[in-house]
Structure 1
Amino acid sequence: MRDDLAGDTEAWLDKLHETQEKDEKNREHQGKGHPGKQLPTKRKSNQD
């Protein structure tokens, strides 16, 4: 039983670390935390 729990915990931690790594790359790519790197937002014009 303990071996199963240890395996599940390791798998969960691996998935967590992978998710955190992807999140960090996305933050860098999207400029979060670095306003100078952030692309301007696109907004529709209200003028018709």
Structure 2
Amino acid sequence: MMSTEDFVNKVKDTQQKAERNKRRFGHGTPTDKLSTKKHSTNK
């Protein structure tokens, strides 16, 4: 069982990582984040 302080530090760390990823990948738009389909054919 982790202490409350450890839990709070873990949550803050997770939030910081999420914020960094959000800034890096297109400011919260999911289409910019998920750019795995590079060549799609619209039929």
TM-score bracket, shorter-length normalisation: 0.5 to 0.7
Cα deviation 1:1-48 (Å, max 9, x = unaligned) = xxxxxx700000000000000000000000124x6xx47x4344337x
- For structure 1, list consecutive stretches of 5 or more residues without a partner in the other structure: 1-6
Structure 1 stretches of 4+ with a deviation exceeding 6 A read none
- For structure 2, list consecutive stretches of 5 or more residues without a partner in the other structure: none
Q: State the TM-score, normalized to the length of structure 2.
A: 0.60
**Once superposed, what is the RMSD of the aligned Cα atoms?**
2.8
**Aligned ranges for residues 6-17 of structure 1 at < 5 Å?**
8-17=3-12
For this pair of structures, how many residues does the alignment match?
Answer: 37
Determine what percentage of the aligned residue pairs are the same residue.
32
Match of 2:25 among 14, 22, 30: 30
**Higher helix residue share:** 2
Q: Which protein is bigger by CA-based radius of gyration?
A: 1
State the SS of the aligned residue for 2:41. coil
